[in-house]
């Protein structure tokens, strides 16, 4: 057996041993079904509402109703199609089938139902933690003399366009 054939044989054996090299890629239909049972279109609606609220604050001259159509039916179709390759890249057809089975189960549906509120609470906790952590670190840097009381590098006379202020204005709240 030549070295080339031997290398191919070893490669095939390793691939078979790991099982992933020849695993079937999920079809577009499988991924679409998974996205449906995971309520991805509902998540797009939540994203659209959040984006509309943000844009209405940033551009009050534009009616809020304008932004409500940002992710319209055509946008949902385009976004879904754009996301399918990521699922196909990271999951096999068997794994997608297993995920569909899970998300159709009572526990899977509970996860779908509770995840938006869970993620919102977790994000709020993360923001609070981040504000406190930044305030604590700024305080330590000030005690070490690396930052002045305004959050700037001491002796520079300038903050380079703005003092480095901890999120929340440095109040630690």
Inside any domain, residue 162:
no
The total of structural domains in the chain comes to 2
Q: How confident is the model at residue 63 (pLDDT cuts 50, 70, 90)?
A: confident
Residues 128 and 147 placed together within one structural domain of the fold: yes
Inside any domain, residue 10:
no
pLDDT at site 51? 85
Indicate the residue among 70, 104, 138 that finishes a domain.
104
pLDDT at site 171? 47
Residues 62 and 33 placed together within one structural domain of the fold: yes
Taking the C-alpha atoms of residue 97 and residue 104, their distance in angstroms, rounded to an integer, is 11
pLDDT at site 17? 54
Predicted confidence (pLDDT) per residue in 91-149, tens digit: 999 999 999 999 999 999 999 999 989 988 999 999 999 999 999 998 999 999 999 98
The answer to whether residue 71 scores a pLDDT higher than 70 is yes
* Mean pLDDT score of the chain: 83
DSSP 62: S
147 touches 141 (CB < 8 A): yes
Residues 28 and 54 placed together within one structural domain of the fold: yes
pLDDT at site 70? 86
Q: Is the pTM of this model over 0.85?
A: no
Inside any domain, residue 16:
no
Reported for 28-32, long-range contacts at CB under 8 A and 24+ positions apart, including other chains, are 28/84, 28/88, 30/93, 30/96, 30/97, 30/100, 31/84, 31/87, 31/88, 31/96, 32/80, 32/84
Residues 46 and 93 placed together within one structural domain of the fold: yes
Inside any domain, residue 62:
yes
Residues 29 and 75 placed together within one structural domain of the fold: yes
Residues 33 and 93 placed together within one structural domain of the fold: yes
Structural domain including 88 reads: 23-104
Residues 147 and 81 placed together within one structural domain of the fold: no
DSSP 24: P
Residues 133 and 100 placed together within one structural domain of the fold: no
Residues 95 and 27 placed together within one structural domain of the fold: yes
């Amino acid at each position: 057996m030549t070295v080339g054939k031997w290398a191919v044989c070893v490669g095939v054996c390793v691939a078979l041993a790991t099982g992933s090299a020849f695993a079937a890629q999920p079809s577009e239909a499988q991924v679409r079904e998974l996205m449906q049972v995971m309520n991805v279109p509902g998540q797009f609606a939540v994203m659209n509402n959040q984006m509309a609220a943000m844009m209405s604050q940033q551009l009050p001259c534009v009616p809020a109703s304008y932004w409500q159509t940002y992710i319209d039916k055509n946008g949902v179709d385009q976004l879904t199609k754009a996301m399918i390759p990521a699922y196909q890249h990271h999951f096999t057809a068997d794994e997608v089938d297993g995920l569909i089975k899970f998300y159709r189960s009572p526990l899977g549906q509970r996860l779908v139902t509770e995840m938006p509120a869970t993620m919102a609470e977790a994000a709020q906790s993360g923001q609070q933690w981040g504000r406190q952590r930044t305030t604590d670190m700024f305080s330590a840097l000030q005690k070490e003399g690396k930052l002045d009381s305004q959050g700037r590098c001491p002796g520079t006379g300038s903050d380079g366009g703005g003092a480095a202020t901890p999120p929340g204005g440095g109040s630690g709240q």
